[in-house]
Amino acid sequence: MIIGVGIDVCDVDRFALTIARRPGLVQRLFTPHEAERPIASQAARFAAKEALAKALGAPAGLVWLDAEVITDDDGKPSFKIIGTVAERAWLLGVATIHVSLSHDAGIASAVVICEA
């Protein structure tokens, strides 16, 4: 059963300008591993975290660092969740989180499906 669906898009150039103006955002938004990735990949991960929040009902108090987008050896993305995000997922009965990322033509996008 689907608990929630979220989608988000992010303009990569605009995201890069925001990070350039406020470099401290990188440490607030991304784990150290995510922060090492290229800007388009960071934008896609930001979109994924936004999409995950939407799929979880966009409750107040979710911590950005409590959701990390990781990739397996084949490049397939998934979430590692802890803390506030894991608690919200547990409260909703989420057993599986599906995520798809893309970045092309200056736009990063993500779709998240939370499943019981």
> How many angstroms separate the CA atoms of 57 and 62, rounded?
11
pLDDT of residue 64: 94
The token pair at 55 is: 């799929």
pLDDT of residue 49: 98
Domains in the chain with CATH codes:
2-115 (3.90.470.20)
pLDDT of residue 51: 98
pLDDT of residue 111: 98
pLDDT of residue 73: 94
If the chain, 116 residues long, is cut into consecutive pieces of 10 residues, what is the mean pLDDT of each piece? 98 97 95 96 98 96 96 96 98 98 96 98
Contacts of residues 34-43 at CB distance under 8 Å and 24 or more positions apart, as own/partner, are: 34/68, 34/69, 39/12, 39/15, 40/12, 40/103, 40/108, 41/103, 42/15, 43/10, 43/11, 43/12, 43/15, 43/16, 43/103, 43/108
